Amino acid sequence: MVISKIEIGTLNVPFTGALKTPVGILSAANNVVVKIVSSDGEYGWGEASPMAQITGDSQQSNYEMAKLFAKHLLGKNPLALDTRIAEINYLTVGDPSIRCAFDMALYDLAAKVAKMPLYQYLGGEPRELRTNLTVGIQDTVEETLALAKSIFDSGFNAIKLKVGRSGLQDIPHVKAVRELAGPDISIKVDSNQGWDYPTAVKNIVALCEFNIDYYEQPIAAWDYDGLKRLRNATNQPICADESLFNHKDAFKLLKAEAVDILNIKLGKSGGIHSALKINSIAESAGVKCMIGCFGESRLGLSAAAHLATARPNIHYLDLDSAFHFKSDPVSGGLQYDKSIGGLIHLNADYGHGASVDEKAIEQVWSLSL
């Protein structure tokens, strides 16, 4: 069996609203999708959801890099995952989003050939998964509370609040949400690097009375030493997001004792292959992982949910991007429960189970044997 055809295209879906964070505003998914077809007619789907402010790549750069990857992969064995992914990684040190799309499509294809759902191909079995839902930075506490109320009314048991405003302006927002939530709802805060070190110390010391699960990327991504000092100064759990791309970063962060939790995103790690290594390194250090997302459709989220299913050390889920989609171009794969907020269902279809409505794909380019 060899890779006989690779199709790429863009997938653009507006969001129902804008998600504002200190690193940028997400108001649409501007993604790249990849379909890898084998000589026996099987195929795998993958998705890139670049966010240049974090991943350093874009829809345009992903699209061009995808053509290069396709030329190198055509005619090769799709099941030799380790070798194929090493070849992709040899072609660029950057572009993690499109490396993720190819990795995801190869894993999907391999699991389909093995006639297994992806979680089973990765050695796992079904377990309950629940995602949080995120509230972006709002101008007023009333706006934050209105969004939080709708999330709690939908039955979610976990919420993530984007913070990172200047000074101590975040505190009334978090305080009000804790008062509304009561004691049992899980609250996480994510600063997206928005605080400097002294502001982070002041905020975290003030916020810890509100029983926050963890503080995600409170300061600049590059500042591993600052993360470690912050962790020691506040005695609160610190989570690395933008500081962590691949398994090499995981090793450096944990060796430095800089953080308590690692936020895996397939779009940062370059896909499942490195994400598995991140989780193994974390598990070896007694550290739990979360899995997050950028602006993926249910395609990219399905792959992430299968990985989380297969690795219970991936404890926290932030797989909510598809909640914001105005239309859903994906069939199969992950489904959100309509009655229990945040509950995720995966079926036993082979692979990750998701495929894209080809009518929704633009700028289609393909290469065949």
Please report, as ranges, the residues that interact with Mg ion according to CB under 5 A: 190, 216, 241
Q: Which is nearer to Mg ion, 47 or 190 (CB)?
A: 190
Q: Which is nearer to Mg ion, 292 or 329 (CB)?
A: 292
359 is catalytic: no
Q: Which is nearer to Mg ion, 241 or 249 (CB)?
A: 241
71 is catalytic: no
- Count of alpha carbons within 13 Å of 313, Cβ hemisphere only? 19
DSSP H/E element including 53: helix 52-55
Judging by beta carbons within 10 Å of its beta carbon (0-12, 13-18, 19+), is residue 115 exposed, middle or buried? exposed
Indicate which residue of 265, 268, 288, 318 is catalytic.
265
Q: Which is nearer to Mg ion, 95 or 216 (CB)?
A: 216
| Minimum distance of Mg ion from residue 234's CB (angstroms) | 18
| Minimum distance of Mg ion from residue 114's CB (angstroms) | 33
| Minimum distance of Mg ion from residue 296's CB (angstroms) | 14
257 is catalytic: no
160-180 burial, b for 16+ CB within 10 Å, e for fewer? Answer: bbbbbbeeeebbebbebbbee
For residue 260 the two structure tokens come to: 């308590």
User: Contact, 87 vs 121, CB < 8 A?
Assistant: no
| Minimum distance of Mg ion from residue 53's CB (angstroms) | 12
For residue 105 the two structure tokens come to: 């499509």
Of all residues in this chain, which one has the CB nearest to Mg ion in the complex?
Answer: 241
Q: Which is nearer to Mg ion, 4 or 191 (CB)?
A: 191
Rounded to 5 degrees, what are φ and ψ at 325? -70, 135
**Cα 152 from Cα 136, distance rounded (Å):** 16
| Minimum distance of Mg ion from residue 164's CB (angstroms) | 10
Indicate which residue of 35, 112, 160, 162 is catalytic.
162
260 is catalytic: no
Judging by beta carbons within 10 Å of its beta carbon (0-12, 13-18, 19+), is residue 338 exposed, middle or buried? exposed
* DSSP string covering 79-120: T-HHHHHHHHHHH-SS-HHHHHHHHHHHHHHHHHHTTSBHHH
Q: How many residues does the chain have?
A: 369
Indicate which residue of 7, 103, 170, 190 is catalytic.
190
**Closest among 245, 222, 221, 307 to 99, alpha carbons compared:** 245
**Closest among 349, 351, 277, 296 to 36, alpha carbons compared:** 351
Q: Which is nearer to Mg ion, 226 or 353 (CB)?
A: 226
| Minimum distance of Mg ion from residue 23's CB (angstroms) | 9
| Minimum distance of Mg ion from residue 162's CB (angstroms) | 8
Indicate which residue of 47, 95, 213, 241 is catalytic.
241
Q: Which is nearer to Mg ion, 70 or 163 (CB)?
A: 163
CA distances to 59, 116, 261, 272 from 310, in Å: 30, 13, 18, 11
**Category of 287 on φ-ψ map: left (φ > 0), alpha (ψ -120 to 50) or beta:** beta
| Residues annotated as part of the active site | 162, 190, 216, 241, 265
